[in-house]
Structure 1
Amino acid sequence: MALRMLRGKDGRLTAYALVAGGIARWTELRPGGPEWTGPQLFETPGLTDITVAQGADGYTHLIGLRRKAVGDERTDVELVHATQFQTGRPLTGWHSLGTPHPKDWRKALKVGAPTAAVDVSGAVHVFVRNAGRGVSARRQDAKGKWGGWLDLKGKEVVDGLSATATADGRLEVFAPTEDGALRWYQPEPGGGLQRGDDVTARPSPGSVSAVESSRDTLTHYWRDQRTGAVCAYRPGAGTTASLGGETGIGPVAVVRAEIEGHDCTLVAQRDTRTGRLAVAAHPSEDEAAGVWWTATGEPGLAEPALALDASDRVVLAAMGPDGGLRVARQKTTEPGLALHAWQHV
């Protein structure tokens, strides 16, 4: 999992990162900062991947992939789930979700990193690449009961699935493949998932993200595997837009924010040319207006995350070379997107 940063019901931001031995968590002391607490380590031996999803109730769901050696020749794999009910509160215990291959541990080893989203009813949906290189899903209803694993089909899926919910609670799943991308969506909030049109694209594994760019409409972002450019795709638009940024690497972070009264979408990534983070913005759903990438932060920052704080200011966070959290917050006294000095948390 790349670094993730979410805003709780009380307005405070929380950042989560997978680290050696488990999950590190940093939490704002008060809405809008600037002080933070952390890192607090939640020890989870064998955890190799983690994703974080949040519902309208503010509950944060953590879903991980955990491995455990059994003897000299066997390794068991399972997906696990824990919940944080309020900002700064402890996690519940981990609950096993098994895998789509409960009777074959060798197939279970091929399960990919999970992604998750929460729908309008509060139901948690978990998605993974299965051993057949399709996509499997499991759902927890609003009362906490988990259903069985469902096979959504698909083929040649690679790592880097992305599941996102709109504010109305309608889900979309975006799955990179060897020569394109697949998409599933709910036609209406709370409905069943349907297969959408295949996307002509070559997303780099681990780079895909999405943002609600207008009411109940998601725009998906990724880095093109051939050119390195950051791309944007909106179902129904019919085309994929290139935003430049060809020298980036790793995850693409995205958030929608108001900048000087304009509805904008901000994108951040790590720039291999400078070793720093690069940030760009464009009018939401108007990628053709062009973007300009600007370097920020010290060299060595990685895994950028974007969120809005309690005052709807843009907050950019990243992991430092020392494993610590770095945070920069939007200035409100200067025009455009200007950030305060980076803070070592």
Structure 2
Amino acid sequence: MNGDWLIRGRDGLLSVYLPAGDALLCRAERLPGGSWETARTVGGDGKLLAGAAVGQGADRYAHLVAWRQTGAGEADLVHSTHYRPRLAPLDWQPIGHPNKKGARTATPAVAVDARGRAHVFVLNRGGGVSMLAQKETGGWGAWCDLKGRSVQDGMAAVTGESGRVELYAAAPGTLLHWRQEEAGEQPVLAERLETSVRPGTLHALATSAEETTLFYTDESGDLCAWRPGGKPVTVLPAAGPGPVAALRCELDGHDCTLLAQRTEGGRVAFAAYPTQEESAGAWWTESGPLLAADAEAGLVTDADGRVTAATLSPSTGRLLLARRKNEPGLALEAWREV
């Protein structure tokens, strides 16, 4: 999944989204902190292609986007809204193709603005970025070409605390940043940064009233943080090859950014530091059992405000969960499979 696949719903229940073959599955808590339901299929029986995305708005509704085959060598994007974890998501609805028709291009990215309007970003046939946004009155607007060249798969969409939508993407030797200057406007390409980026490692997080932070791994293997308008900062060496999960939370009364990543050795590692103060330093602490090679880490705060970590493997469907203990520091309760 592109986006935060572990989320807390409007009713406080946690849920996860899991690609499984030609379908997308969801699972949810029955009660906060309790047992979990079995997996259900999102959006009906239609078969999906690889690469789905999720975005969540301030209303805590989840917006899901995926590709669906429509014919020989042709596909369309489809969208579903999931209002509450224990309710069934809406059926998939087609929302078109950035080039009107054609094959699947790349994994989409989704962000939801302050008014609950989903913004879908995807690569077009020319290697640039196209966007489709919901109208406030319902339905969808027209596709917009946001430009860009040789943009790589694995974009990161994020909504700032201002409610405005931003997008980060990588191209060879470059990071690109688009942002809305005003709510509801088309995002514009605001900045290009020359830097090396490992494909598939972008993750964006709102970290202040006006700024978002992009986390990525550079070609030397360092996990870096970049806020547009400044220079990237090395946080610490990446724990493993995949994407990092990031959560802004309160730890012992301090505004902190918590990171989690599957390590090279197969466990999950955590690091925390004061938000936007990368110079304070951070270090990894490993936790939990050995994981499947495709397992990823997720972070969220639960209904009681406790940091909750999860690992999920698409190949096995194994979901492990651990919550923070009610004590100083970042000690976690024992990991349990749900």
Q: Do these two structures clear the TM 0.5 threshold for a shared fold by scoring above it?
A: yes
Q: Which moved more, 1:335-344 or 1:317-326?
A: 317-326
SS in 1 for 2:25: strand
CA contact (8 A) 1:49 1:66 kept: no
Cα distance between partner residues in 1 of 2:38 and 2:308: 17
Cα distance between partner residues in 2 of 1:159 and 1:204: 11
Shift of 1:50: 0.8
Alignment deviations for residues 127-162 of structure 1 (CA, whole Å, 9 cap, x no partner): 001111110001111232111211100111001111
Alignment deviations for residues 158-194 of structure 1 (CA, whole Å, 9 cap, x no partner): 0111110023311110011111111100123333312
- Equivalent position amino acid for 1:160 in 2: G
Counterpart of 1:231 in structure 2 is 224
1:1-345 map, 5 Å: 1=1, 4-31=5-32, 33-42=33-42, 43-68=45-70, 70=71, 74-103=72-101, 105=102, 108-109=103-104, 111-224=105-218, 226-236=219-229, 238-272=230-264, 274-301=265-292, 302-320=295-313, 322-333=316-327, 335-345=328-338
Give the percent of matched residue pairs that are identical in Structure 1 and Structure 2. 39
CA contact (8 A) 1:53 1:118 kept: yes
- Equivalent position amino acid for 1:231 in 2: C
CA contact (8 A) 2:198 2:216 kept: yes
Shift of 1:21: 3.2
CA contact (8 A) 2:127 2:149 kept: yes
Cα distance between partner residues in 2 of 1:209 and 1:264: 16
Alignment deviations for residues 57-94 of structure 1 (CA, whole Å, 9 cap, x no partner): 222111012235x4xxx321111101112221111111
Q: Which moved more, 1:157-166 or 1:117-126?
A: 117-126
Shift of 1:39: 2.0
Runs of 5+ unmatched residues, structure 1: none
Which TM-score applies when normalising by structure 1?
A: 0.91
Shift of 1:121: 2.2
Runs of 5+ unmatched residues, structure 2: none
Which TM-score applies when normalising by structure 2?
A: 0.93
CA contact (8 A) 2:239 2:284 kept: no
Cα 1:329–1:198 change in 2 (3 A) is same
- Equivalent position amino acid for 2:39 in 1: P
Cα distance between partner residues in 1 of 2:40 and 2:51: 18
Cα distance between partner residues in 2 of 1:176 and 1:92: 32
SS in 2 for 1:131: coil
Cα distance between partner residues in 1 of 2:138 and 2:201: 31
Shift of 1:95: 0.9
